Chain A
Amino acid sequence: MSPDSISALRLSLQVAVTATAINALIGIPIAYALARRRFWGRSLVDLLVTLPLILPPTVVGYYLIVLLGRRGVLGRPLYELTGWTVAFTWYAAVIAATVMALPLLVRTVRAAIESVDRDLERAAYTLGRSEWRTALEVTLPLARNGILAGMVLAFARALGEFGATLMLAGNIPGKTTTVPLSIYTAVQTGERGEAVALVAALTALSCVVLIAANRLGARAS
């Protein structure tokens, strides 16, 4: 395997792990709010979080450029202020992967939270727990399997993310070229050996993650 492929593998893992962590951090609260609370703009949040699942990744990538590119809605003030732009950095790959993976995590976790018997939460309230403590001590522990499943799906989605990443982060070897981009490049330039090695590596990695997730799920139930 060439040094470029190895760096692509390392980058992909780094991006997928970071994107999954961010997903858990923002996705679980969003899923909880959608499952348990009625608030203004709830349908809008639901729509926005789900859209990346429906839209072609390149379209999502385009929106991200509009938002975060050097001349973007948020990107321009940031560039003028600091002279730095997120586009074409590995952070851009993380953002693209996070956005693309978010619907899978939110939907899975939301379904898991909705399946928790509300009487358990009510019981906790009458026993003195605030909503926040109840979520931490009752709801989320009982939704644990769904949360794990959501994180596995998010990780897999982030690992395989291609279109949106290409749009926002580009394909800069050693910097933003993740494994899927690297495979694409290898096939385009006729380096079949490299392509096969990376395909095998990604397949193996996905299998390991799935088996680990199944083991965790089996232990939890």
Chain B
Amino acid sequence: MTSRLEVSLRKSLPGFTLDVEWSAGDGVAALFGPSGAGKTLTLQCLAGLVRPDAGRIVVGAQVLFDAAAGIDVPPQQRRVGYVFQGYALFPHLTVRDNVGFGLRGRRRADRTRRVEEVLGRLGLEALAERHPRELSGGQRQRVALGRALATDPALLLLDEPLSALDLPLRQALRDELRAVLTDWGIAAVLVTHDLGEAYRLGDRIVVYEEGRVIQAAPRAELLWQPSSRSVARIMGIRNLLQGVTLKATADRIQLRWRGQVLEAVNSPTRSYLPTPDSPIAFYIRPEYVRLIRKDRGAVDFAHHMNLMSGTVVREVDQGTSWTLCLRLDEPGEPAQGDYDLELEVPRLVYEILEIERDRHWQFSLHRGAMHVLPSA
């Protein structure tokens, strides 16, 4: 992968230090992490609005910042488009003037042509004479995109572009935003604290925590192989558990947890070989826990690996599915407060199996549904 964007930054503020290094290719890099992790500060450094203490920023072939070489291109000359959280449209200007704001200095005819082109491409022609306060949230997003894209930036920065919107609109606009980014084929960096957004919009996901990057990976890799327990926690992964290693080979790991011997697939890209008796972090996807039907006769042990049994202690109706909290039939403290495992069953399954009435179940885990996490 040729890196379109190389970022290495250090910036100390009172009570907070940003110290990150990551790179990204063409497409969208999503900076994901909790609020206050330094994501917006990173964007501001990229745009030249905040000057880092040290580091280097390269976009394509152009060095925008290099502390060692004394290079600091001012924001006016960086050719970086910025879509601000809340959009920051100029309230005293019309849509047309907002979109044309960055084109000052071009010939009048040029400017008019470019503004018309951008308005047309984003479907804003009919709104050209309106002011931002007369627009809906979605229209504002498009104007903000248009204003940033009109100048043909080398890089587009988006700070929580969807957070100003209501939930139903948010999902529609997420797809619209994805379409615009694909259509314009522009390299972009997007900040979000919503994993779903990061996953749907980002080709590459950079996970931030407390001013540091804890993982940067293509999105599929991140979702299926978080590199550490803290990445898994930030991603809101459920059933994040800790066991003891029994045996580790390049493709399997056997571990003990709550009196059970469980078998998991080892990480296919990074074989992880913990020594026997060392602690090991792993997680189980709640939607991959398989309840065993009682009306199908004897349990086939060859088919159902990692077999366990337990009682539903709590349940939450999620609308299309039910979340069940199960406590294993094992003595000792449950792993997660008053339960051991969370699992997710589709509504139909919940009704067919009459889980509301029948609380005790056997269940199994395919080893592919268990993920071990290198380095606790």
Contacts and interface: CB of A to CB of B under 8 A. Distances in A.
Contacts of B147: 123, 127
Contacts of B76: 125-126, 128-130
Nearest to A129: B76
Interface residues of B, number: 26
A119 B147 CA distance: 14
Interface string A114-136: 00010110111111111000000
A127 to B, nearest CB: 4
A127 B151 CA distance: 8
A199 interface: no
A141 B92 CA distance: 8
B90 A126 contact: no
Interface stretch (B16-24, B98-106, B174-182, B308-316): B98-106
Contacts of A138: 90
Nearest to A121: B88
Given A138-B90, A142-B92, A123 B84 contact: yes
Contact of B84 (A119, A128, A141, A142): A119
A128 B102 contact: yes
Among A119, A123, A125, A130, which residue has the most Cβ atoms of chain B within 10 A?
A: A123
Contacts of A120: 88, 90-91
Interface in B156-206: none
A127 B102 contact: yes
Contacts of A122: 44, 47, 49, 75, 82, 84, 88
A128 B76 CA distance: 4
Interface in B69-86: 74-78, 80-82, 84-86
A128 B90 contact: no
A126 B73 CA distance: 11
A98 B227 CA distance: 66
A119 B88 contact: yes
Given A117-B88, A122-B47, A122-B49, A128 B81 contact: no
Contacts of B148: 126
A31 to B, nearest CB: 19
Chain A contact residues: helix, strand, loop or mixed: helix
Interface in A121-159: 122-130, 138, 141-142
A128 B104 contact: yes
A62 B188 CA distance: 62
Contacts of B88: 117, 119-120, 122-123
Contacts of B104: 128-129
Nearest to A142: B92
Nearest to B50: A122
Interface string A31-52: 0000000000000000000000
Contacts of B44: 122
Given A119-B84, A119-B85, A119-B86, A125 B75 contact: yes
A181 B245 CA distance: 94
A5 to B, nearest CB: 44
B92 A126 contact: no
Contacts of B86: 117, 119
Contacts of A142: 91-92
Contacts of A141: 92
Nearest to A138: B90
A123 B99 CA distance: 12
Among A119, A128, A129, A141, which residue has the most Cβ atoms of chain B within 10 A?
A: A128
Contacts of A125: 47-49, 74-76
A124 B48 CA distance: 12
Given A122-B88, A123-B88, A128 B49 contact: no
Nearest to B105: A128
B49 A124 contact: no
B293 to A, nearest CB: 56
B91 A126 contact: no
Given A123-B90, A125-B74, A127-B101, 17 more contacts: A117-B86, A119-B85, A119-B86, A119-B88, A122-B47, A122-B75, A122-B88, A123-B88, A125-B48, A126-B76, A126-B78, A126-B81, A128-B76, A128-B102, A128-B151, A129-B76, A130-B76
17 contacts: A119-B85, A120-B88, A122-B47, A122-B88, A123-B88, A124-B101, A125-B74, A125-B75, A126-B49, A126-B76, A126-B78, A127-B101, A127-B102, A128-B105, A129-B104, A141-B92, A142-B91
When A and B form their complex, which 3 residue pairs have the shortest distance between CB atoms, in order from nearest? A127-B102, A119-B88, A125-B75
